[in-house]
Amino acid sequence: IKQVFQEWNFILECRKKGIPQSKYLKNGFVDVNEKILDTYGKTPHLQKRRALSDEANKERKKFIFQLSGEQWTEFPDSLKEQIFLKEWHVYNTLIQTIPAYIALFQDLRVLELSKNQISHLPVEIGCLKNLKVLNVSFNNLKSVPPELGDCENLEKLDLSGNMEITELPFELSNLKQVTVVDVSANKFHSIPICVLRMSNLQWLDISSNNLKDLPEDIDRLDQLQTLLLQKNKLTYLPRALVNMPKLSLLVVSGDDLVEIPTAVCESTTGLKFVSLKDSPVETIVCEDTEKITESEREREQFEKEFMKAYIEDLKGRDTAPSYTTKVLLSLQL
């Protein structure tokens, strides 16, 4: 297990530095060679490219607000004067509320608010007509306001890890530009109707929920490429999955599945079907409910990073099998 984690951490570090897969794979196996990390990126043409990139980043940072650290329990007063900002990146704080004056930030493109204590989204969020990315993952949300459906240019919506969201308002059907939706680690019993109406959706992660079945008309998502369903309570997969022309990666937990269309397993369209075996989670004995929830969040965060790396590696392999049975995913914190 220790060696597996070392290899995954090494792969993640290589990807951060932009090192191509061919540099760290030998005969299909990971070559943990520190020299790759040390020497890559020091060649002259890369240094020149990095200098140009640094200049562009300086200009970009003029329009970015960043905040982190548990000393923050609310947004600084000075923020309301900076309505020219295009991005907010706020993470690992104790902030619980997004101020109503966010409506003034008409140039806002990216709203990254991951791993805070936010308990609700203000209705004013619907005023952000130019918003492209909304990430409020791993907060304390229980619902989403219908006004979010007014953010007509939204492309990525991440609500993962809030643990308590059970449904999404129908008004989110208006989000026709959305290509990525992540609602993993919540309490959905079915795929929301509004998600089925997002006609440009390419990536849907609804893993770690309470799904018992999939809608028979799931094939209306004809642009969907990646569908992550692991850690649910599915007992069968509908045949409609075969009718999804662009679906290239389907991940499920195989323990409860008793019926899988043969055409899914033996797809000739290039579909990679991965059936994961869930490891039993040890019962957490703890009187403090908050501590239990926090432990679940930490586990979900860790598994999410692991799965992201696993999927990226799987996608990068031309020779990956279309059906992988019983891949053991065992994580202990």
Q: What is the pLDDT of residue 4?
A: 66
Q: For the residues of 82-142, what is the DSSP string, one character each?
A: -TT--EEEEES-------GGGGG-TT--EEE--SS------GGGGG-TT--EEE--SS---
Residue 318 DSSP label:
T
Instruction: Name residues whose C-beta falls within 8 Å of residue 189's C-beta, 6 or more positions apart in sequence.
Output: 166, 209, 210, 211, 212
- The tens-digit pLDDT sequence of the chain (333 residues) is 556 667 777 777 777 777 776 677 766 677 777 667 766 655 566 665 666 566 556 656 789 999 999 999 999 999 999 999 999 999 999 999 999 999 999 999 999 999 999 999 999 999 999 999 999 999 999 999 999 999 999 999 999 999 999 999 999 999 999 999 999 999 999 999 999 999 999 999 999 999 999 999 999 999 999 999 999 999 999 999 999 999 999 999 988 888 888 888 776 667 888 888 865 544 344 455 566 667 888 888 888 888 888 888 887 776 554 444 434 444 433
From CA 83, how far away is CA 108, in angstroms rounded? 8
From CA 113, how far away is CA 185, in angstroms rounded? 17
Q: What is the pLDDT of residue 267?
A: 66
Q: What CATH number has the domain spanning 62-277?
A: 3.80.10.10
Q: What is the pLDDT of residue 322?
A: 45
From CA 293, how far away is CA 187, in angstroms rounded? 13
Sign of CA pseudo-dihedral 178, 183, 312, 266: negative
From CA 300, how far away is CA 290, in angstroms rounded? 15
Residue spans of the domains in the chain: they are 1-45, 62-277
Of 145, 144, 102, the C-alpha closest to 127 is 102
Residues in a beta bridge with 86: none
Distance of CA 287 to the CA centre of its chain: 31
Distance of CA 261 to the CA centre of its chain: 27
DSSP helix/strand/coil, 251: strand
From CA 135, how far away is CA 305, in angstroms rounded? 16
Long-range contacts of 182-187, Cβ-Cβ distance < 8 Å, separation of 24 or more: 182/137, 182/157, 182/158, 183/159, 183/209, 184/160, 184/208, 184/209, 184/228, 184/300, 184/304, 185/160, 185/161, 185/209, 185/296, 185/297, 185/300, 185/304, 186/159, 186/160, 186/161, 186/162, 187/163
From CA 126, how far away is CA 242, in angstroms rounded? 36
Q: What share of the chain is helix, strand, coil (3-state, %, to 5)?
A: 35, 15, 50
Q: For strand 226-228 and strand 203-205, is the pairing parallel, antiparallel, or unpaired? A: parallel
* 256-286 burial: b if 16+ Cβ within 10 Å, else e: eeeebeeebeebeeebbbbbbeeeeeeeeee
- pTM for the model stands at 0.78
